[in-house]
Structures are given as structure tokens and as C-alpha cells.
Amino acid sequence: MRVATHTWEEPDDVTQRLKDLGLSKEILREAVYAYAMGLAAATANDPPNAGGFMAYVYSTRALREMLIPRGWRRDNSGGYCRVVNDAAGVAITVSTGDEHTGGAEGEAPRTKRSKGPRTVAAVADNVLQLSLFDQSDHDTADGAGDDSSGADGCVTWVLLMHATPSGIQSELSLPVELDDSHRIGEWRERIILPVTPLDGPSLAPIILPEPGPDFDVSVTRRTG
């Protein structure tokens, strides 16, 4: 199935579309910061790819910590980690994307790694959910879901993130198709987020200021 992708990139459009989903740039930026923090937390003594794993852990945690106080819930069904807003029929998972992540022009991004069976199922759910909406003339996916139709009646968005030396490119996107290697490669909607600049951790050399002036205390012996 090939679908047309709707890409939101104008700041006002992005803000409005995120608002429709009960989200904001600020909320997602916390997850992006956390992703960067996770990448930077790995040391040479960690197992290879620890940074990527910690980035996944930290960003998942941050997203949930930001959203659960706002009425969302976490869901780990089948080991598939999402944060879910049942009322809005929306769920989010996080993933590392390729270099096309966050770019409105050019190729659509793909997730960096092959996805497991639960992702395959979630993407299939999305297709099912969206086809139901299409039949009822909805053109967006934020309406109330029908609990009987999908696994939990939610469409699952992916917060895609990709680190470059200058910052983290990111987007919140709605997948509808996996490629042959089970990487997500087709999107119904893409909400392009601003690049989150980083001058952090391993990315910047440490430059320190000159020490400040020291003082000498005048102490003089009195006569007599």
C-alpha cells in the first residue's frame, strides 16, 4: 500500500498539529535532550552501542515522565514500549532514525534498525485504524479510536531522532509501511521538529576561563 505523506514543517502548523495530539514542541524537546544525554552517558568501558541503548532508555523515560502527569499511561505490552493517551487514541514510541530524520525535503527517513514483531503489529494496527478513519472521512488520526478494531484502538506515532555533531534532528511521524528489512520507511504524516542544538558532552572541547584575581590580606604588626 502506498500512501501520500502529509508533512508539517511550518512552525505554526507544527505547533497546531502537536496540540491536536495533546503534545508540544517543549514536551518532545525534553525527550530529545534526554536522547542526547543518553548518547553522552556511555563510556569506553560500556558494551558497544551502550550509548544508543541509553539514548533509547533515557528518551523513553523522559517522554513518559513528561506525559504521564498529563494523563497518559505507559504500556509495555509484548516488550513494545509506548506511552499511550487512551482518550485521544494516540500512542508514541521512540526510535533512532537515519540521516533523513527531521528533513522536510528529500527522502523520507527510515528507522535505523529492523523492527520486531510488535512493531510490525503496531504498524499494521495503524493501517487498520487509518483505513477506518478514511472510511468515516477523517483525514487525521487524532480522533477517538474504536476499541474493537485495533489492539488498543490507538495509532502509534514514532518520535524519530538522529544525532549529528551540531544537534539532534527529530520528527514525530506516523508509520504505515515497513520495508522488506522491517525498517519503517513509509509515513502517513510527518511532523518536523526544530533541530535541537547541542554544544554538549563529547561534541565540544573543554575551554575554561582564566582564574580570577587572588587577594592578599594586609596584616601589619602594631607597635608597642
Partner 1 sequence: MDSSFTPSRLAVARRRRGLTKKALADVSGISLRSLTGYEAGAHVPSAAHLDVLARVLKFPVAFFAREDLDALRSEGVSFRSMSRMTAGQRARALASGEMALELSAWLERHFSLPDPDVPDLRQYSDPEAAALALRSRWGLGDRPLAHVVRLLEAKGIRVFSLAEEAREVDAFSFWRGGVPFVFLNTGKSGERSRFDAAHELGHLVLHAHGAPSGREAEQEADLFASSLLMPRSSVLAYVPRGATLADLLARKRVWGVSLAALAHRAHRVGLLSEWQYRTLAIQIQERGYRTSEPDPMPRELSQVTEKVFSALRAEGRNKADVARELGWPVAELESLVFGLVLRAVPGAAVDTDVSARRSRSHEEDAAVGQPSLHLVP
How far is CA 39 from its chain centroid?
Answer: 14
Instruction: Examine residue 45 and tell whether it contacts partner 1 (CB under 8 A).
Output: no
Instruction: Examine residue 198 and tell whether it contacts partner 1 (CB under 8 A).
Output: yes
Distances (CA, A) of 219 to 214, 216, 222, 223: 16, 9, 9, 13
Instruction: Examine residue 53 and tell whether it contacts partner 1 (CB under 8 A).
Output: no
Given the complex with partner 1, which of 104 and 204 has the nearer CB atom? 204
Given the complex with partner 1, which of 38 and 102 has the nearer CB atom? 38
Given the complex with partner 1, which of 9 and 65 has the nearer CB atom? 65
- Selected from 9, 20, 65, 146, the binder of partner 1 by CB under 8 A is 65
We find the least distance from the C-beta atom of residue 60 to partner 1, in angstroms, to be 12
Distances (CA, A) of 108 to 53, 96, 98, 174, 192: 24, 14, 9, 12, 11
91-117 in b/e form (b: 16+ CB < 10 A) is bbbbbbbeebbbbeeeebbbbbeebee
Given the complex with partner 1, which of 136 and 218 has the nearer CB atom? 218
Residues that bind partner 1 in the complex, under the rule CB under 8 A: 29-30, 33-34, 36-37, 40-41, 58, 62, 65-66, 197-201, 203-204, 206-223
